[in-house]
Amino acid sequence: MNPASNSLALLTDLYELTMASGYWKCGKAEQSAAFHLFFRNSPFQGGYAITAGLGPALEFLRAFRFTSDDIEYLGTIVGNDGRPLFDPAFLRYLAELELTLDVDAIPEGTVVFPHEPLLRVCGPILQCQLIETAMLNQINYQSLVATKASRVVMAAEGDSVLEFGLRRAQGIDGGLTASRAAFVGGCAATSNVLAGKRFGIPVKGTHAHSWVMSFDSEPEAFEAYADAMPNNCVFLVDTYDTLQGVRHAVQIGQRLREAGHRMVGIRLDSGDLAWLSIEARKILDAAGFDDAVIVASNDLDERLIQSLKLQGSKVTVWGVGTKLVTAYDQPALGGVYKLGAIKDESGDWQPRIKVSEQLIKTSTPGIQQVRRYVDHEGMAIADMIFNESQPMPETCTVVDFLDTTHQTEFDASVPFVDLLQPMLRGGKFVGESRPLDEIRNRAMAQLKQFHRTVLRLDNPHRYRVGLERSLHDLKSQLVRDARRRSKAEATT
């Protein structure tokens, strides 16, 4: 295979390239613009999201370059008239293109909320446009899975959660991406060995029903596995009769103990997990295996885990697969990438807005930054989106997104942190790449900064997010102006 074929510059929608061609033809290619990536609704009917996918997104930008293979392919695309879609001179321009963008981002593992820019991209509008689809592709899915994982982990209430979803994931890349994001969201390990190698995630696994079925009896199967893997014995006990399987595991566990090894535990993969785990715990404890874990799998998610907990389940490790890696109850985050400002000929930023009949789809103008106010114990109070290109008042007023009559003032004495941090300047990296375990720890620490009511699975308390008053006023004025123009145009 030609190494050039590894290029990902064409990981984009065609309209990004047609717009890029248009900007080039009309002389706007180098005009400075500011775009923001954000989502409009919290996933899973919850109250928050965990941002993830920034690392791979930045790696994409680091490697971004149109190869000769890419250019050759673009030259074969034709328009509706059967002629080449792209001007050869434009393709030569792309062949020499190097990114010179300024990129700011909220670090991975941060708790975030609707309308907050997770990524801010400033620079030549043609370049900003070319990377749109790839940025959304990387950040949308990983943030979705990281959020799902965090909900599962919270439902487990301190028990270990393992990600077991590779075989049900959407392809090779989907499986790897999901394993990475699930770890960011709090999963302790994965069954995905390639993800373990690539990302440094701990890997866990036992044996399948086929192992037991390949022997004449269950005790024989367990004994053979113990001989082969004396330091990794978690026995799958529900191939035939689950509680009898637990007793067989105890028998082999005693032989392991006599040989100086330890039976780690058992796994339940079917049946009434609450009742079976309670009965299994009795058998294990009576035999002196009170330290043996009980692993459960079988289409688990946060709500089923929560239900099993309420039923007194004795499961101590949860293997979650399909419903985690596929984000089963909401398969997409719905993040978008919108133009917020553009520079005029004098070098001044001019705000831009997209107006919609649906209030939630009306974009926010300006060069946006997110400020998180915290109390003196470090607990988050409210988030304020403000226009970084404008001076800030001494006392800031946050106007609630959903209820503009709800306004809160914060003076200079209130501690805060601005969430968007520099990652690229002029196309050169200025941010630091963080190890994945550090990103995971950040997510865990971040969740502790919010009241439990904001994080609960159902009917969460709404954390306050709003616009700084002058930005709110600017947005309102731009909406009025746009509607006035539209009305005037309709009458001419």
- 34-55 average pLDDT score: 97
Q: Which is more confidently placed, 267 or 491? A: 267
Is residue 259 scored above 50 in pLDDT? yes
Give yes or no for residue 13 having a pLDDT over 50: yes
Tokens of 421: 């941090």
Per-residue pLDDT tens over the stretch 441-454: 999 999 999 999 99
Least confident of 3-7, 64-68, 304-308: 3-7
Q: How many angstroms separate the CA atoms of 179 and 205, rounded?
A: 14
Is residue 241 scored above 70 in pLDDT?
A: yes
Burial code of 432-460, b = ≥16 C-beta within 10 A, e = fewer? eebebeebbebbeebbebbeeebbebeeb
Q: What is the pLDDT of residue 233?
A: 97
- Please give the Cα distance from 492 to 490 (Å, whole number): 6
In-domain check, residue 272: yes
Residue 413 CB neighbour total at 10 angstroms: 7
Where do the H-state alpha helices sit in 266-336? 273-286, 302-310, 322-325
Residue range of the domain that includes 174: 146-325
CB contact at 8 A, 162 and 189: yes
In 213-244, which positions are buried (b, 16+ CB within 10 angstroms) versus exposed (e)? eeeeebbebbbbbbeeeeeebbbbbbbeebbe
Q: Tell whether 181 is covered by a domain.
A: yes
* CA–CA separation, 492 and 488 (whole Å): 7
Beta strands 160-163 and 317-320, pairing class? parallel
**430 in any annotated domain:** no
Q: pLDDT value at position 4?
A: 43
Kindly give, in sequence order, each residue whose CB lies less than 8 Å from that of residue 88, ignoring residues fewer than 6 positions away. 75
Q: How confident is the model at residue 433 (pLDDT cuts 50, 70, 90)?
A: confident
Strand partners, 49: 112
One-letter amino acid for residue 235 of the chain: F
Question: What pLDDT score was predicted for residue 218?
Answer: 98
Condensed to tens digits (0 to 9), the pLDDT of residues 65-120 reads 999 999 999 999 999 999 999 999 999 999 999 999 999 999 999 999 999 999 99
The whole-angstrom separation of Cα 204 and Cα 231 is: 12
Backbone angles phi, psi at 349, to 5 degrees: -75, 130
Inter-residue contact 252 to 233 (CB < 8 Å): yes
Contact 389, 68 (CB under 8 A): no
Q: Is residue 69 part of a domain?
A: no
Average pLDDT, the chain: 96
Considering the domain boundaries, does residue 268 fall inside one?
Answer: yes
In a domain, residue 303? The reply is yes
The mean per-residue pLDDT over the stretch 279-289 comes to 98
Question: Once rounded to an integer, what is the mean pLDDT over residues 60-69?
Answer: 96
Find, among 50, 55, 109, 178, the residue nearest to 441 by Cα: 109
For residue 309, is it within any domain?
A: yes
Q: How far is CA 376 from CA 248, 312, 380, 414, 456, in A?
A: 56, 38, 10, 8, 24
CATH of the domain at 259: 3.20.20.70
- Does residue 144 have a pLDDT over 70? yes
Question: 437 CB contacts (<8 Å, ≥6 apart)?
Answer: 200
Domains of the chain: total: 1
**Amino acid (1-letter code) at residue 171:** G
> Which is nearest to 338 in space by CA: 350, 359, 352, 349?
352
**pLDDT band at residue 5 under the 50/70/90 scheme:** low
Indicate the helix (H) or strand (E) that contains 425. Answer: strand 421-425
Element (H, E) at 94: helix 88-95
CA atoms within 13 Å, Cβ hemisphere of 278: 9
pLDDT above 90 coverage of the chain, percent: 93
Mean pLDDT for the stretch of residues 383-397: 95
Angle at the Cα of 326 from the Cα atoms of 465 and 272, rounded to 5 degrees:
105
Look up residue 119 and give its two tokens. Answer: 């990524």
What distance in Å separates the CA atoms of residue 423 and residue 432, rounded to the nearest whole number? 8
Amino acid at 64: F
Query: Pairing mode, if any, of strands 349-351 and 49-50?
Result: unpaired
* Residue 44 belongs to a domain: no
- Residue 1 pLDDT > 50, yes or no? no
> Residue 254 corresponds to which amino acid?
Q
User: CA-CA distance, 166 to 106, in Å (whole number)?
Assistant: 28
Asked if residue 289 has pLDDT above 60, the reply is yes
